[in-house]
Amino acid sequence: MKKIIFFILLFGTASHLTAQNDSLRTILKEVIVVADKTLKKNSKGYKIITLKDSVLVKNTESFTTLLRFNAPIYLREYGAGGTSSASFRGTSASNTAVVWNGININSINNGQTGFNSLTVSLFDAINIRSGGGSIEYGSGAIGGTVHLNDELSFKNKQTIDNQFVSSFGSYNTSNNLYKFNLSSQKLAVKLGISYNKSNNDYPLLKTDFRNSNGAYKNISFNAGLSYKLSNFSELNFYSTSYLGDRLFSGELPNPTSANEKYKDFNNRNLLVYNHQKGRFTNEVKIAFLTQEYHYYGDKNTDKFNFGKSNRYLINYQFGYKIPKINATINSFSEYESVFGKTDQINTKNRRQFSQSVIYNQNINNFFFFDTKIRKDFNSDFDVPFSYAMGIKVNTFKNISFRANGSKNYRVPTYNDLYWPGQGNPNLKPETALQSEFGVVFNTKNLSIDISGFYISAKDKIVWTPNGDPNRPGIWTPINLSKTMNKGIEFTLSYQKNFNKHFVNTTVNYSYTDAKNTETNNFLTFVPKHLLNGSLGYSYKGFSAFYQQLFTSKTFTTESNSNDFIIPSFFVSNLGADYMVLKTEKQQISIGLKVNNIFNELYFTQPRRPMPNRNFNFNINCKF
């Protein structure tokens, strides 16, 4: 409650100060500050998809929805608004790293991040990088990484901007957001608060039931501060908190029997000191992250199971430029200590020191490459070297070639090892080799990227209901001797202005063939075909958009039984926005979005239907 009162006071002060702001559109010299400065510098040969603000405002329902319709990632949900996990290039959820301001935030307990515990509009920039070359963020991200960044800006004249977004929709769903930004020559401040709730009791198509135990509500806080100490150094602080309360939807054929509840709390804090002068760069990051959950088997009682983890981290980066050969060398040294426990597992402490070195070079703006090597010293496992290399070659005027390869390594999580009645203390760490080759075509209005990838994994960790013959029907983790993932990815982006008529379209397609080479069966929850795209049109103050998603059938059992598949599906959304007011100091727009316009029955998790046709009305104010 004290935190809430504190934020309300800050927001009230911000609204009062806004009256002193001369103009929303004053042309000022601006310097953008980001905590993660290495992503694009160290991504030669890799594909990066950037989700801009224009994309974020069209997908405010959930972070899962945002990625599902705008990225080549398969996401499954335990009912809309429930637990959500990702599969990137056929890898498991633990092989997709979520990176917040340069810090990997995947849970030590289950090795992943629940995407529905992230609020879309609180972040300023979201980037998605394919491939396993992100070893500066950890060695286990075989499929790719999702980057969440907060931006702070210095301006030569003090400005204050406010934004309020509110939406209301079917099933008593509402999403509310307030953001405040202050910029001056030496100080930048960013604050945000988000509150979302829904009864989520949509009808389950082709049945007489409703999603009767699917309600959720959550509140998120976000804060950032940057102070310019000198022309060469700055001190930045970032903090974010999430408090969620949700019910777990039931499964067919008897969804009304569901009675579970789940509460979780996440808090992340990061302090960054950066000094850059001449050829040298020094940066220190100190972070504290905590996660906690309460699981209620019966929502009507006070009895619950809980889990909690605390993570302490310090990271030092040193960079040196070599102008004569247009190269840079960077060293990353990191130490972390993680404490995790549940009501049934005593506190475990895992400590790790990591050392990474990255070398970048640009040869005549024609040949670019980076090489990376990482060594982890883990208190629980003997971790070998990880390495990666990326290459980009500019050949013709609009065509370039890119390639990358890496060796990755992931240790088992606490849940994998110790989960009561289900964990497997005999698990081995998994290792993987991956490679990719791509061709890129770029013009002013059109961008095309097509690539092929290959991943060979040994001792891959998967959860299966038949993993332990002594515990039949119980989900347990096992090591698969060897798996092979191969496929093709295609990305297209086009935009054109025809005499004030603006048209844009994006397409993401992925073909993934992921198999257990010992049985030749397909891996579970990996669709062979995944296609999403959007088409947008705007003229003056009016804009409209259409979104499409296709997912092919998905196997859910190791035996690939056709009795337990998730059928293929098409889902489409349609929306429109209108700028009601646009002045130097104020902007107000209203919008309407219809999700699942064709009322398609579809699943991303067995026996848990997703929402039918539903509506969402929103208003967006900037002042």
Listed in order, strand segments (DSSP E) in 423-499 are 430-442, 446-464, 476-498
Which residue is it, tokens 């290495």?
Answer: 38
Is 70 exceeded by the pLDDT of residue 20?
no
Which residue, 63, 58, 68, 51, is CA-closest to 571? 68
Any idea what the Cα angle at residue 126 is, between residues 109 and 164, rounded to 5°?
105
Q: What SS3 state is found at 331? A: strand
Closest by CA position to 573, among listed 551, 591, 598: 598
pLDDT at 383: 87
Q: Is the pLDDT of residue 200 over 80?
A: yes
Annotate 552-566 with DSSP letters as a single string: --B--STT--GGGPB
Flag whether pLDDT at 121 surpasses 90.
no
Provide the pLDDT for residue 27: 36
Give 34's pLDDT tier (boundaries 50, 70, 90). low
Task: Report residue 429 as tokens.
Answer: 């760490």
Structural tokens at position 427? 């698990």
Q: What is the pLDDT of residue 17?
A: 35
Q: How far apart are CA 41 and CA 281, in angstroms?
A: 14
Of 270, 189, 272, 269, the residue nearest 234 (C-alpha)? 272
Structure confidence at residue 5 (pLDDT) = 36
Q: Where are the alpha helices (DSSP H) in 380-512?
A: 414-418
Is residue 23 pLDDT above 50, yes or no? Answer: no
Whether the pLDDT of residue 400 is over 90: the answer is yes
Cα separation of 15 and 585, whole Å? 13
Residue 32 pLDDT = 65
pLDDT at 16: 37
pLDDT of amino acid 375: 93
Q: How far is CA 258 from CA 74, 197, 248, 607, in A?
A: 26, 19, 7, 13
* Mean pLDDT in residue range 144-161: 90
- Residue 471's pLDDT is 77
- Residue 593: pLDDT above 70? yes
- Confidence at 30, pLDDT banded by 50, 70, 90: low
Q: Is residue 145 within 8 Å of residue 130, measured between CB atoms?
A: no
For residue 484, CA distances in Å to 121, 341, 435, 490 come to: 36, 34, 12, 20
Q: Which of 105, 112, 104, 107 is nearest to 88 (CA)?
A: 112
Length, in residues, of the chain: 623
Evaluate if residue 15 carries a pLDDT over 70.
no
CB 99 within 8 A of CB 532: no
Q: Is the pLDDT of residue 11 over 70?
A: no
454 or 20, higher pLDDT: 454
The mean pLDDT value for 61-73 works out to: 90
Token pair 């995790």: residue: 340
Which pLDDT tens digit goes with each residue over 257-291? 889 999 999 999 999 999 999 999 999 999 999 99
123 Cβ contact partners less than 8 Å away, ≥ 6 residues apart: 56, 148, 149, 150
Tokens of 538: 């705007």
Scan for tokens 């060796």, then name that residue.
407
Contact 357, 329 (CB under 8 A): yes
Beta strand extents in 229-326 (DSSP E only): 233-247, 261-277, 280-296, 305-322
Q: Mean pLDDT across the stretch 212-220?
A: 92
What is the enclosing helix (H) or strand (E) of 230? none
Task: Tell me: pLDDT of 19 over 70.
Answer: no
Residue 219 has pLDDT above 90, yes or no: yes
**Segment 457-509, tens digit of pLDDT:** 999 888 877 777 777 778 888 888 899 999 999 999 999 998 889 999 999 99
Residues with Cβ within 8 Å of residue 268, at least 6 apart in sequence: 100, 103, 105, 238, 239, 240, 241, 287, 288, 289
Chain-wide mean pLDDT for the chain?
88
The pLDDT value given to residue 141: 85
Q: Is the pLDDT score of 22 beyond 60?
A: no
Preceding amide of 253 cis, omega within 30? yes
Q: What is the pLDDT of residue 35?
A: 64
Residue found under tokens 């008529």? 501
CA distance 43 to 519: 35
User: Using CA atoms, how far apart are residues 23 and 44, in angstroms rounded to an integer?
Assistant: 40
For residue 284, which amino acid is it? V
Sign of CA dihedral 121, 148, 242, 116: positive
Instruction: Give CA 451 to chain center in angstroms.
Output: 22
Of 77, 71, 60, 75, residue with least CA distance to 123 = 60
Distances 46 to 74, 135, 240, 386, 501 between C-alpha atoms, Å? 19, 13, 29, 17, 33
Angle, CA of 266, 378 and 95, to the nearest 5°: 55
